Amino acid sequence: MPENKTLVMKFGGTSVGSADALVKAAQIVKDARADFARVVVITSAMSGVTNLLLDSAALASQGKVDSLPSIENTLKEKHFAAADTLIKDEKLRDATRQEINDLIFSFVDLCKAIAVLGEASPRAMDAVASIGERMSVRLLGAVLESAGIKAKAIESTEFVITNAHYQNAHPDFKVTTEKTRQLLNPLMDAGIVPVTTGFIGATPEGVITTLGRGGSDYSAAIIGSVLPADDVWIWTDVDGVMTTDPRIVRDAKTLPEITYSEIAELAYYGAKVLHPKTIRPVVDAGIGLRICNTFNPSHPGTRLIANPKTNGKVHGQVVKAVTAIRNQRLVTIEGRGMLGVPGVAARAFGAVASTKTSVPLITQASSEQSICFAVPSESAESVINALQSVFASEIEDEDIDRVWMTEDVSIVTVVGVGMRHTPGVAGQIFSQLGNNKANVLAIAQGSSEVSISMVVAAADTEIAVKALHELIVK
């Protein structure tokens, strides 16, 4: 076993969500130590906990705190049941329960303070959201100790240093590199497994921040890249990256390998396997990344690779995966007066940005008579209002005929690095959709040619995904 071979492993919420899951996680850590001298473990909150915390804070901001006692009991039962079952040493068990209890009390206090103020600031919401991971890290650290693995729980707030952009903070990689090495290397050199929190960091002043929902993957990539590790393994409850959502297509399969550019497209377009920000630190550091199943650890999972063998095609396969984002609306700005007028797009997207809405897809015809883009359904109304306000004079002068939106639509994306430079792929895709009576409302393709996105009516989502998935299995 190479002396300094380092592995970073992240366990998702379902992977630490019960006593049974925690037993499996402990065994996985034990097995990994046979191949890696140095192991860092990152944990999410137990499944369902973060939602419970955030929902409670949202209710508190409306002055509703009646349910706090029952939520407090739910949190205690969930964590204490696992602790009582798995932590054999009475002193360690009592200490772990006490620390978790203190965190639950601080959560209740935060909710009461939010109720008094009548609002929950982003900073307060980050303090609330962090509590799930902070409870989980103490539980998993003690469970590993009980399983005979030397481990130490340490909050990532001590070494992942971020800006003060609460709820979606960005790490300062220079300071984070120094602090991570300074804190984690001595522990690993002493044969101890550091167990740390995903999802959270802290400002230089020590105020807790979060990296955005699903940010534990990103934490693993940050810590893996700054150590640097040899490999980062993401443990979840599926066998890796699937060719599509198995709830839509029953014969969806696990992809043994996928390129970074493909996974970036999939993560962005709705495949809930990796946080979209995870990929960059790992790519920049040239580190291996693997996605595997806690409940089926012998499965090889999906290995992420920088470049495909054989031009990205597997046995002539061009399309690798199909994904769908639901609950979108298409917004269109149209009018002959837009033709050749500079700055229309800039003003349009400035208006969208003012509503803090992200745009996943844009399409414009070369005639310049309309701009069409997708936004999440819940933001569509405020986007329309912002656009009508910005273009009020053009609408009055009839340079812009109308600003309107569709009913709910879905963005269905076909991904495959083998599509690059392969003639006729788009033809195959649209023939397949046409043959299955799925109507395409808009199309977008990036210059990388790794993906083609199509907008279809909400009712056609499953038909489109099933039809396009057939291109993979042909």
SS (H, E, C) the chain: CCCCCEEEEEECHHHHCCHHHHHHHHHHHHHHCCCCCEEEEEECCCCCHHHHHHHHHHHHHCCCCCCHHHHHHHHHHHHHHHHHHHCCCHHHHHHHHHHHHHHHHHHHHHHHHHHHHCCCCHHHHHHHHCHHHHHHHHHHHHHHHHCCCCEEEECHHHCCEECCCCCCCCECHHHHHHHHHHHHHHHHHCCCEEEEECCEEECCCCCEEECCCCCHHHHHHHHHHHCCCCEEEEEECCCCCECCCCCCCCCCCECCEEEHHHHHHHHHCCCCCCCHHHHHHHHHHCCEEEEEECCCCCCCCEEEECCCCHHHCECCECCCEEEEEEEEEEEEEECHHHCCCCCHHHHHHHHHHHCCCCCCEEEECCCCCEEEEEEEHHHHHHHHHHHHHHCHHHHHCCCCCEEEECCCEEEEEEECHHHCCCCCHHHHHHHHHHHCCCCEEEEEECCCCCEEEEEEEHHHHHHHHHHHHHHHHC
Pick from 239, 225, 458, 447: which is nearest to 328 by CA? 458
In this prediction, residue 317 carries a pLDDT of 66
Supply the pLDDT for residue 270.
59
Compute φ and ψ for 79, nearest 5 degrees: -80, -40
Give the pLDDT of the chain (474 residues) as one tens digit per residue.
Answer: 446 799 999 999 999 999 999 999 999 999 999 999 999 999 999 999 999 999 999 999 999 999 999 999 999 999 999 999 999 999 999 999 999 999 999 999 999 999 999 999 999 999 999 999 999 999 999 999 999 999 999 999 999 999 999 999 999 999 999 999 999 999 999 999 999 999 999 999 999 999 987 789 999 999 999 999 999 999 998 888 889 888 899 888 999 998 888 887 887 665 666 777 888 898 888 898 999 999 999 999 999 887 665 544 444 468 889 999 999 999 999 988 777 777 888 999 999 999 989 898 998 766 668 899 999 999 999 999 999 999 998 899 888 999 999 999 999 999 988 887 778 888 889 999 999 999 999 998 876 678 899 999 999 999 999 999 998 865
Instruction: Say what the pLDDT of residue 457 is.
Output: 95
Provide the pLDDT for residue 235. 95
Q: List domains and CATH numbers for the chain.
A: 6-237 (3.40.1160.10), 309-474 (3.30.2130.10)
pLDDT value of residue 1: 46
Instruction: Give the CA distances from residue 139 to residues 22, 42, 75, in Å, rounded to whole numbers and listed in that order.
Output: 9, 12, 13
- Give the pLDDT score at 417: 85
The whole-angstrom separation of Cα 456 and Cα 436 is: 13
* pLDDT, position 277: 81
